[in-house]
Amino acid sequence: MSPQGLIQIASRHPFNDTVQRLQSGFTEKGLQVFAVIDHSGEAEKVGLKMPPTKVLIFGSPKAGTPLMILAPSLAIDLPLKVLVASDAEGRVSVTYNDPEYLRNRHGFPSELAKNLAGAGALIAKAVE
Protein backbone atom coordinates (compact mmCIF):
# COMPACT_ATOMS: atom_id res chain seq x y z
CA MET A 1 0.00 0.00 0.00
CA SER A 2 1.39 3.39 -0.91
CA PRO A 3 1.57 6.32 1.53
CA GLN A 4 -1.84 7.85 2.24
CA GLY A 5 -3.37 5.33 -0.15
CA LEU A 6 -2.37 7.29 -3.25
CA ILE A 7 -0.35 6.34 -6.29
CA GLN A 8 1.25 9.21 -8.21
CA ILE A 9 3.04 8.91 -11.53
CA ALA A 10 4.69 11.52 -13.72
CA SER A 11 3.28 11.99 -17.20
CA ARG A 12 5.59 12.30 -20.19
CA HIS A 13 2.93 14.36 -21.96
CA PRO A 14 1.62 17.92 -21.68
CA PHE A 15 -1.41 18.48 -19.46
CA ASN A 16 -4.15 18.50 -22.13
CA ASP A 17 -2.60 15.52 -23.94
CA THR A 18 -2.51 13.57 -20.66
CA VAL A 19 -6.20 14.26 -20.04
CA GLN A 20 -7.07 13.23 -23.61
CA ARG A 21 -4.94 10.05 -23.45
CA LEU A 22 -6.65 9.03 -20.20
CA GLN A 23 -10.13 9.66 -21.59
CA SER A 24 -9.34 7.72 -24.78
CA GLY A 25 -7.76 4.86 -22.86
CA PHE A 26 -10.77 4.52 -20.58
CA THR A 27 -13.22 4.60 -23.47
CA GLU A 28 -11.22 2.08 -25.52
CA LYS A 29 -11.37 -0.39 -22.60
CA GLY A 30 -15.13 0.02 -22.20
CA LEU A 31 -15.01 2.26 -19.13
CA GLN A 32 -17.33 5.20 -18.85
CA VAL A 33 -16.04 8.72 -18.16
CA PHE A 34 -18.83 10.06 -15.96
CA ALA A 35 -17.43 13.56 -15.46
CA VAL A 36 -14.42 15.80 -15.79
CA ILE A 37 -14.03 18.39 -13.05
CA ASP A 38 -11.91 21.34 -14.13
CA HIS A 39 -10.68 22.73 -10.81
CA SER A 40 -8.38 25.32 -12.38
CA GLY A 41 -11.08 26.43 -14.82
CA GLU A 42 -13.58 26.91 -12.01
CA ALA A 43 -10.98 28.78 -9.95
CA GLU A 44 -10.39 31.14 -12.86
CA LYS A 45 -14.12 31.92 -13.04
CA VAL A 46 -13.95 33.37 -9.53
CA GLY A 47 -10.74 35.28 -10.10
CA LEU A 48 -8.32 32.74 -8.62
CA LYS A 49 -5.33 31.22 -10.37
CA MET A 50 -4.00 27.70 -10.01
CA PRO A 51 -1.96 25.41 -12.26
CA PRO A 52 -3.99 23.22 -14.61
CA THR A 53 -5.87 20.67 -12.49
CA LYS A 54 -8.63 18.28 -13.52
CA VAL A 55 -10.24 15.21 -11.98
CA LEU A 56 -11.66 12.53 -14.24
CA ILE A 57 -14.38 10.36 -12.72
CA PHE A 58 -14.62 7.02 -14.48
CA GLY A 59 -15.60 3.41 -14.04
CA SER A 60 -17.66 0.43 -14.97
CA PRO A 61 -20.95 -0.44 -13.28
CA LYS A 62 -20.26 -4.07 -14.22
CA ALA A 63 -17.02 -4.08 -12.19
CA GLY A 64 -17.98 -1.68 -9.41
CA THR A 65 -21.48 -2.85 -8.51
CA PRO A 66 -20.47 -6.29 -7.15
CA LEU A 67 -17.93 -4.54 -4.90
CA MET A 68 -20.48 -2.06 -3.59
CA ILE A 69 -22.94 -4.87 -2.89
CA LEU A 70 -20.35 -6.56 -0.66
CA ALA A 71 -19.01 -3.32 0.82
CA PRO A 72 -21.62 -0.55 0.52
CA SER A 73 -19.25 2.07 1.96
CA LEU A 74 -17.14 1.70 -1.19
CA ALA A 75 -19.73 3.86 -2.94
CA ILE A 76 -18.01 6.88 -1.34
CA ASP A 77 -14.89 6.06 -3.42
CA LEU A 78 -16.58 4.81 -6.58
CA PRO A 79 -16.67 5.62 -9.38
CA LEU A 80 -12.88 5.81 -9.53
CA LYS A 81 -11.09 9.12 -9.89
CA VAL A 82 -7.79 10.24 -11.38
CA LEU A 83 -6.28 13.64 -10.69
CA VAL A 84 -4.27 15.26 -13.47
CA ALA A 85 -2.24 18.19 -12.21
CA SER A 86 0.49 20.43 -13.55
CA ASP A 87 2.93 22.09 -11.17
CA ALA A 88 4.41 25.60 -11.45
CA GLU A 89 7.21 24.27 -13.69
CA GLY A 90 4.74 22.57 -16.04
CA ARG A 91 5.45 19.01 -14.89
CA VAL A 92 2.32 16.88 -15.16
CA SER A 93 1.41 14.07 -12.79
CA VAL A 94 -1.54 11.76 -12.30
CA THR A 95 -2.71 10.56 -8.91
CA TYR A 96 -5.27 7.89 -8.04
CA ASN A 97 -6.34 5.69 -5.14
CA ASP A 98 -4.32 2.54 -4.56
CA PRO A 99 -6.73 -0.41 -5.05
CA GLU A 100 -5.16 -2.18 -2.05
CA TYR A 101 -5.85 0.88 0.09
CA LEU A 102 -9.49 0.81 -1.02
CA ARG A 103 -9.70 -2.92 -0.24
CA ASN A 104 -8.31 -2.35 3.26
CA ARG A 105 -10.46 0.73 3.82
CA HIS A 106 -13.72 -0.96 2.87
CA GLY A 107 -12.95 -4.60 3.68
CA PHE A 108 -14.00 -6.30 0.47
CA PRO A 109 -12.46 -9.70 -0.40
CA SER A 110 -9.00 -9.65 -1.98
CA GLU A 111 -10.17 -11.75 -4.93
CA LEU A 112 -12.39 -8.84 -5.99
CA ALA A 113 -9.53 -6.32 -5.94
CA LYS A 114 -8.95 -7.25 -9.60
CA ASN A 115 -12.15 -5.33 -10.39
CA LEU A 116 -10.23 -2.12 -9.57
CA ALA A 117 -6.61 -3.05 -10.31
CA GLY A 118 -6.88 -2.75 -14.10
CA ALA A 119 -7.37 1.01 -13.90
CA GLY A 120 -3.78 1.48 -12.72
CA ALA A 121 -2.40 -0.25 -15.82
CA LEU A 122 -4.56 1.93 -18.07
CA ILE A 123 -3.42 5.08 -16.29
CA ALA A 124 0.25 4.06 -16.48
CA LYS A 125 -0.04 3.34 -20.21
CA ALA A 126 -1.68 6.71 -20.87
CA VAL A 127 1.18 8.68 -19.29
CA GLU A 128 4.14 6.72 -20.71
- Mean pLDDT on 86-98: 94
pLDDT computed for residue 35 by the predictor = 97
The whole model's pTM is what?
0.90
45 compared with 3, residue with greater pLDDT: 45
Q: Where are the alpha helices (DSSP H) in the chain?
A: 15-28, 39-45, 61-70, 99-106, 114-127
Residue 5 has pLDDT above 60, yes or no: yes
Residue 2 has pLDDT above 70, yes or no: no
Distance CA 63, CA 128 (A): 25
27 compared with 2, residue with greater pLDDT: 27
